[in-house]
Chain A
Amino acid sequence: MNDVTMNDTTMNDTTINATPTKDPVAPLLAVRELTVEIGGVTLLDIDELETDRAEIVGLVGESGAGKSLLQAAILGLLPVSARVTGSIRFDGIEIVGASRRTMHEVRGGRIAVVLQAARAALTPTLRSDEWIDRALSLHDVPKAERAVRLAHALDAVRLDPRLLHRYPHQLSGGEAQRVSIALAVALRAELVLADEATSALDVTVQAEVAELFRELRASEGTAFLLVSHDLALVAGLAHRINIIERGRIVEHGGPEILEHPADPVTQALVAAKPALPRADATAA
């Protein structure tokens, strides 16, 4: 697959129904045989993890299982001391060992991130409209186009434009989260890494955001990698679910794994209620 300088604007121009010009069978994100070692300890050892275009994929595990590290690897943001082998391909572009120029377009522009701490993720000294505008400018969106994209994004996430004049500490959790998601939409990201994106929100807002993901998948064609410890929430949204434990994928499948969990880790996750510490899996 040719993946030299990504001068590709065709993806950005496609509407939801047009077939992408790339190989339709190849996944959007393909992680293969990835190992990440830091300080002599192998922290990630992933055989396979995929996300197709406009697909919602879940990555579920307890804290320390490697979820954050995998996200960092996908974004090319691993610490300098990390030793990486294997491959992470995004739309054919190899991320492991990619140059800064390659990553400039991919990181943020094509792969976006939504974090758990909604308000804390926004720059405290900037108003939200400035924050989005600067990010658009960073990704070379011409000035004239920015307002259009922003308006469309606000519409898609159902955020009142007046809220954009506020500073992060003046927004609610749900509103701040929508700002982050709006940025992803405005940047026309094809993949959104949602890192515990709903965990810190209260239940009704959680449901709203989950619904928002579903809508955006349909309207914008965005793929989502839902990273969470909450199996029940993910199962309600995702087409495919990967269970991660100690850096390895121990089980994967569709939402049916909730009914018939094969791996003891999955079983423990199914049995656990989100807020309480899980039963010790090693006792099994």
Chain B
Amino acid sequence: MTAADRASDEGQGWAVWLRSAGRYIREHPGLIVSLVIIGSLLATALLAPWIAPFPNDAGTATNLLATLQPPGGEHPLGTDLVGRDVLSRVLFGTWSSVGTSLLVIAASLAIGVPIGLFSGAVGGWVDEILMRVVDIFLAFPSLLLALAIGAALGPSLEHAAIAIVVAWWPWYARLMRGEAAAIRGRAFIESGRLLGLGQVRLATRHILPNAAGPVVVQASLDLGGVILTLAGLSFLGLGARDPVPEWGLMVEQGRSLFQTHPWVAIVPGAAIMLAALAFTLLGEGLRERLDPKGATRR
């Protein structure tokens, strides 16, 4: 095989790869779009201090000479009531809104998954009691539970995050418990038990990988929900406080100005929508692969 042949073979290889990639994109547009958006969000969250034109505006800096500037020029998305650059604040807000939501989901998983796993794997009256507790938490609509707890704890971004975690972990516990209980009955677990494997090792080695699929799907879908809930809490004044550039808070700050200076509220709201949309699409795209049986609640 000559070098020319080898080269043309390689060229063919790239073309084939491109074509199949193109086909994949056309067949799964939602997934690709969501990944692109999420990638951008993560990049923004990490790189905000460097790409934002007025990084200090995300903190305590104010510019009372340039308040309520309409979008254009130095401030592509305008400025708010105290002259802060909206674009910069929105970019920094990625960390406050999306970043916090990621942490909330991570914490909810960290609490809910082990509890559900334990409950489902062990069964018996332990299972019954734990699931009753979960039921009690799930008896409240999530937003309202988070609201009540947030109110009790006092307004701050951290408290809002904690409140949401308290409201959210039961979903994962119940989901995980369902999967674990189903797998518990399967043959190879039985044989595992006969061989005398330790309970914990049993659980993590066998149940976790199988049950992971629906949990991952649910978590992705929930990220959108958590972002919206967090924004909602901040909007009500129970979450982040000024000057934290959390998107929900920014919408609230722009509320009274909406008729005359709409951009102050519109921009952060659009950011919330974009992020929630990305994670919803991600979750749905993953669902086909990871949870075809539909164990997730949405």
Instruction: Find out whether A and B make contact in their complex, taking CB atoms under 8 A apart as touching.
Output: no
Question: Which positions in A face B, CB cutoff 8 Å?
Answer: none
Question: Which positions in B face A, CB cutoff 8 Å?
Answer: none
